[in-house]
Amino acid sequence: MQTDADLNEPLLILRDVAIGYHPSDSLVNIPNLEVFPGEIVAIAGPSGIGKSTLLRTIAGLVSPITGRLEVCGAIMPEKPPRGHLGYIPQKLGLVRHASVKHNVELGARAGIKSRKLRQQRSIEAIDIMGLSEKSAEPIRRLSGGQQRRVATARTLAQRPKLILADEFLSELDEETLTSVLEAVTDYVRESKAALIVVEHDISRAKMMADKLLVIDDGRINPFVKGTKAMEVNM
């Protein structure tokens, strides 16, 4: 259970972090970023600038060149508690020959011990993503947009505290996009989770996010909605 104190603790803290694949060649520098429970932060910027690398670094898949990262209370290289971090990669990493149901249950396994509860959460997540009728279909028979929804269901079934979503709305038609975005947003607000979403479409990013971080030439520039300006200190 989350206590009130937990709700004031950031789910993500980055301090003087430089990311990239070579120590002498950083892609992005992030002086200071905090993400709190219930918050949605969008990251935008041109192709190849390092957006996916930033998410992969937060997910613990790429080591930062320098700096301090704290993810769900764990200071890197320590890993966050099992199931707390949910990651929807740009390349989805689904098991192509296995069914929708099987793939979603694999996600739930990260967060939930009881098999029965896992199955229940998986069915719910598949339903929320509008895929109930496709539940028994193998992934390879689905369209790109449907596969992206499976990856989203896989993460929602896990009930994570921090979701990292890399272009998870691409390949969706307008109607599906609205319902997928609403489902994920509702989850984040109701569960006091947080969402960090990479979104190449700036107007869409502005629409969904409390904070928008635009990566440009290795620097992060915050554009902040409403009254949140004081919370961003970069």
Ligand X SMILES: Nc1ncnc2c1ncn2[C@@H]1O[C@H](COP(=O)(O)OP(=O)(O)O)[C@@H](O)[C@H]1O
By beta-carbon proximity to ligand X, the closer residue of 54 and 129 is 54
Task: Give the range of 11-19, 54-62, 82-90, 157-165 binding Mg ion by CB under 5 A.
Answer: 82-90
**What is the nearest approach in angstroms of ligand X to the Cβ of residue 7?**
31
How far, CA to CA in Å, does 19 sit from each of 67, 72, 197?
9, 19, 17
By beta-carbon proximity to Mg ion, the closer residue of 74 and 214 is 214
**What is the nearest approach in angstroms of ligand X to the Cβ of residue 221?**
15
Query: Using CB distances below 5 to 8 A depending on partner kind, what does residue 8 bind out of Mg ion, ligand X, none?
Result: none
Query: Using CB distances below 5 to 8 A depending on partner kind, what does residue 191 bind out of Mg ion, ligand X, none?
Result: none
Residues forming contacts to ligand X in the complex (CB under 6 A) are 21, 27, 47-53
CB 218 within 8 A of CB 208: no
CB 42 within 8 A of CB 54: no
Query: Using CB distances below 5 to 8 A depending on partner kind, what does residue 49 bind out of Mg ion, ligand X, none?
Result: ligand X
Distance CA 137, CA 175 (A): 22
Query: Using CB distances below 5 to 8 A depending on partner kind, what does residue 48 bind out of Mg ion, ligand X, none?
Result: ligand X
**What is the nearest approach in angstroms of ligand X to the Cβ of residue 61?**
9
3 state SS for 111-162: HCCCHHHHHHHHHHHHHHCCCHHHCCCEHHHCCHHHHHHHHHHHHHHHCCCE
Query: Using CB distances below 5 to 8 A depending on partner kind, what does residue 226 bind out of ligand X, Mg ion, none?
Result: none
CB 219 within 8 A of CB 50: no
State yes or no: residue 152 binds Mg ion (CB under 5 A): no
By beta-carbon proximity to ligand X, the closer residue of 43 and 108 is 43
**What is the nearest approach in angstroms of ligand X to the Cβ of residue 151?**
16
Interface residue with Mg ion, options 26, 29, 52, 147 (CB under 5 A): 52
CB 86 within 8 A of CB 155: yes
By beta-carbon proximity to Mg ion, the closer residue of 52 and 103 is 52
Task: Give the range of 30-38, 86-94, 137-145, 151-159 binding Mg ion by CB under 5 A.
Answer: 86-94
Which positions touch Mg ion (CB under 5 A)?
A: 51-52, 90
